[in-house]
Structure formats: structure tokens, C-alpha cells
Amino acid sequence: MAPDLTGLWPPVCTPFDETGAVDPVRLQKHAQALLADGATGLAILGTTSEANSLTLGERRGVIDACLAGGIPASALLPGTGASALDEAAELSCHAADAGAAGVLLLPPFYYKGVTDDGLFAFVARLIEKCGARVPRIVLYHIPPMAVIGWSMPLTRRLIEAFPGVVVGMKDSSGDLAHIKDVIAAFPGFAVFPGAETFLLEAMRAGAVGCISATANVNAREISALTARWRDPDADARQRSIGAVREAVQACGLIPGAKAILAARYRDPAWQAVRPPLLPLSEAAASELLANPAIAALVAGKPARG
């Protein structure tokens, strides 16, 4: 039976070695650390993973490296979106063949102004190409990056056309009202806010968990809130994780998270990102690491606000 899609699924940062290649050993160690810190599973190959800076072969390799490193396939939710339909289908089938919990599907983001009919056709063809190997699909809604997104009418159409296949959404719209609307409109649909900024409110509205960049550095506390959002200290937990998110986001989520990982693991190689992204400057990294909330994380003792 497929595992429930609930809880915290960090979009795992991708480490690179001195040649710029994906580093499988660092990846495996980080993935294991996230699970040890309470993550339910791992949303590898997401935005924070720099997936769209990786080749198709590299993306397949990330899935394989996690499996080779002892990560259970059922703990993987790979991002498989691509502008090319065949690439999205090939990667989705590879994830399904591995036994992944599902896939996280961006819309084909290069062409703007496309219709819901066009996006429906893209998903329908992907499912057709996968055939019996089709994985569960979590729609990735991120208009700030992709510009196009999964509209409410299209989401309903996909759920109704492909029951048991299109099962959820990562909503990175940054709009709490939209997240609540999706939850209310589609009972039983697994909705994950794409940031912990308003995680508590989203959980109270019926969200099932969180998929957030800063879970790479704060998995323990974010996971605790997804599990204990009914507890009396939930508002304090929300303030604490919100302070971390604000600090990292202010300097860029991907280079910021990697700067923290470099400090936590005492491994400067973790700072590497792929162009056009750049690592934080020494001054910016020092300022970030001096933030009390971040310093506590690096020390392994997150502060509770």
C-alpha cells in the first residue's frame, strides 16, 4: 500500500563536488540527517534542489543515489516536471519504477499564456505515457517562479479525470487564502504549503504537512509543528520557525540554506551552487550565521520563541 502523503517533505538541497558534479555521498548523508531530524520523506529534485539546473541524467542519478544510500523509495517524492513532455514522463516512470511515494509535477513552464486545456493535455499525455507505471502525482503550484500554474478549475478537472493519481498539491503561491481555498474545494486532496511562514494556519485549515526550502536546516522544528499543531505551544513554535524562514529568505533561500549547511556540517563545499545562482558572499554568510535563530540551528539547539 502506498504511504500517506503527510508531514514534512524537505526539498533536499543538492550538493556539488569540486568539479561541479552532483556529489552523491554528501547527498546521501544530508538525506539521512533530514530523516533523522523528523522529516517524513524527501521531496528531492525540487526548486531548492536546483533541479532545473540539472540534466535529465543527473536527475535520474539523484534518485538512484538516494536509493543507493539506503533511503527507502517510499520516502522519496521526486520533482519530475519539465517543459519537454517526454522528459517529464521518463523521469516520472523512473521514480515510479523505483517505488517512490509519488512525484511532484511542475507545469511545463517555458510557454506562458497557455490554456487549461493545454495543461490538461500535458498531464493526460504524461499519464498515458507512463501507463501502468504511473506514479501518484502531487501538482506543484509555484506561479512566482513558473508564472503559469494549476488553476482551481483545472485542478478539479484533473482530480476527477485521474482519481487516485492526481492526489495533492504543493502550493507555493505565497497566498494563504489560495491555500485555504484549495483545501476547502477538494476534500481529501493532500495540500502542502510551500513555506512554513503560515504553516500553523494552514494546518488548522486542513493542510497535511509542509514542503519548504528551510526544512533543509530546520527539519526538526518544522516537523514538530506539523505533528503537534494542536498543542498549546503551537503558536510559539510557529514564531520560532517563522524567524528562521525570514532570516534565510532575506539572503536567498538556496544560497542561504547552503551556507547554513556548510557551517553545520563544517564542510565549505556545501556552499556551491550552479550558475546563474551564486553562493553568499563571505560578509553575507557571516551576517546570516550571526543571526541568533540561525546560530542556534548550527549549534544544534534551535531556539523556541
Order of all β-strands in the sheet with 103-105? 103-105, 137-141, 166-171, 190-193
Which ranges constitute the DSSP H helices of the chain? Answer: 24-36, 56-68, 85-98, 116-130, 143-146, 152-161, 176-185, 199-205, 215-227, 234-250, 253-264, 282-290, 292-298
Dihedral sign (CA 68, 72, 76, 82):
positive
Q: Which of 140, 180, 265, 301 is catalytic?
A: 140
> What's the number of CA atoms in the CB half-sphere (13 Å) around residue 168?
25
pLDDT at 172: 97
Give the number of residues written for the chain: 305
Phi, psi of 103, deg, nearest 5: -135, 155
Tell me, what's the pLDDT at 305?
40
Burial of 83 (0-12, 13-18, 19+ CB in 10 A): middle
Choosing from 29, 170, 180, 301, which is the catalytic residue? Answer: 170
In the residue annotation, 111 being an active-site residue is answered as no
Asked about 140 being catalytic, the answer comes back as: yes
What is the fold of 7-229?
Answer: TIM Barrel (3.20.20)
> Sign of the CA dihedral 146, 150, 152, 153?
positive
Three-class DSSP category at 139: strand
pLDDT, one tens digit for every residue, the chain (305 residues): 355 899 999 999 999 999 999 999 999 999 999 999 999 999 999 999 999 999 999 999 999 999 999 999 999 999 999 999 999 999 999 999 999 999 999 999 999 999 999 999 999 999 999 999 999 999 999 999 999 999 999 999 999 999 999 999 999 999 999 999 999 999 999 999 999 999 999 999 999 999 999 999 999 999 999 999 999 999 999 999 999 999 999 999 999 999 999 999 999 999 999 999 999 999 999 999 999 999 999 987 665 54
Contact 295, 289 (CB under 8 A): yes
Residues 6+ apart with CB under 8 A from 2: 74, 101, 102, 136
Per-residue pLDDT at 4: 82
Q: Using an 8 Å Cβ cutoff, are 8 and 210 in contact?
A: yes
